[in-house]
């Protein structure tokens, strides 16, 4: 899984000012601008924090730096892999809510079908440099944030089945860890959603 993911919160109305086929390009150019973007800036000294561009687009988007992931998609993949092992042993309400939450963000479903995403807002990147992995409209962001509020208090009930059914699954040589490898990562996704929701923005996950 040699894939990196960059997760951004983005002003959907700003992207909506240009045609669908130009929206990823607009975001890419603003992000990559020599003096006012953030492509060449050093990441924040504290992971688990936000990186904002400078200049005229400073209030249009921001990148979230996930704690411990170093930008890799691997931890997100493993979180969904753990869920694949645990979901049949979860209470029906927890399974339904967490299915919805993960399908909206990083999971392709129990049969590997495409996850729920708002890709229609974009078209393919015409330059092929940065691929769209996930897109959540402001409406989807609000729904996912509300889903998290319902499911978060119930997650501790997964601790025992997680320990039992992910024993053979490891991430980077470490045993699967419920708090570090699952709950904490999903909590960070919830933080991204909350930051977007309060602004009325969307969320974009880019492969780069």
User: Tens digits of per-residue pLDDT, 88-111?
Assistant: 999 999 999 999 999 989 998 887
Cα 82 from chain centroid (whole Å) = 16
- Looking at residue 187, its pLDDT comes to 96
pLDDT at residue 176 is higher than 80? no
Residues β-bridged to residue 63: 8, 51
pLDDT at residue 198 is higher than 80? yes
Q: Quote the Cα angle for 119-190-110, to 5°.
A: 60
Residues with Cβ < 8 Å from 192, sequence gap 6 or more?
A: 7, 9, 64, 203
Average pLDDT, the chain: 85
Residue 206 structure tokens: 């880019």
Across the range 182-202, mean pLDDT stands at: 96
**pLDDT band at 161; cut points 50, 70, 90:** very high
The single residue listed with the structure tokens 């921001």 is 62
**Residue ranges per structural domain of the chain:** 5-207
- Looking at residue 1, its pLDDT comes to 47
pTM for this model (two decimals) = 0.89
pLDDT in tens, 28-76: 888 877 555 565 444 444 456 899 988 888 899 999 999 888 889 999 9
**pLDDT band at 124; cut points 50, 70, 90:** low
Torsion sign, CA atoms 186, 118, 195, 133: positive
pLDDT at residue 130 is higher than 70? no
Across the range 184-204, mean pLDDT stands at: 97
Of the given ranges (16-20, 29-33, 142-146), which has the lowest mean pLDDT? 29-33
pLDDT at residue 189 is higher than 50? yes
């Amino acid at each position: 899984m040699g894939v990196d993911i960059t997760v951004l919160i983005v002003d959907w109305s700003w992207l909506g000012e240009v045609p669908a086929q130009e929206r990823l390009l607009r975001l890419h150019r603003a992000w990559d601008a020599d003096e006012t973007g953030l492509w060449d800036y050093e990441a924040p000294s504290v992971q688990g924090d936000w990186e904002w561009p400078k200049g005229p687009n400073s209030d249009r988007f921001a990148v979230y730096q996930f704690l411990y992931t170093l930008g890799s998609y691997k931890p997100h993949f493993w979180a969904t892999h753990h869920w694949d092992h645990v979901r049949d042993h979860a209470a029906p309400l927890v399974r339904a809510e967490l299915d919805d939450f993960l399908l909206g963000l990083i999971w392709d479903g129990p049969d590997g079908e495409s996850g729920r995403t708002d890709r229609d807002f974009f078209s393919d990147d015409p330059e092929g440099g940065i691929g769209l992995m996930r897109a959540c409209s402001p409406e989807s962001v609000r729904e996912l944030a509300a889903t998290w509020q319902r499911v978060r208090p119930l997650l501790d009930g997964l601790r025992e089945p997680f320990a039992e059914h992910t024993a053979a699954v490891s991430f980077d040589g470490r045993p699967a860890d419920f708090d570090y490898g699952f709950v904490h990562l999903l909590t960070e996704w919830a933080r991204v959603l909350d930051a977007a929701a309060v602004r009325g923005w969307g969320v974009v996950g880019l492969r780069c």
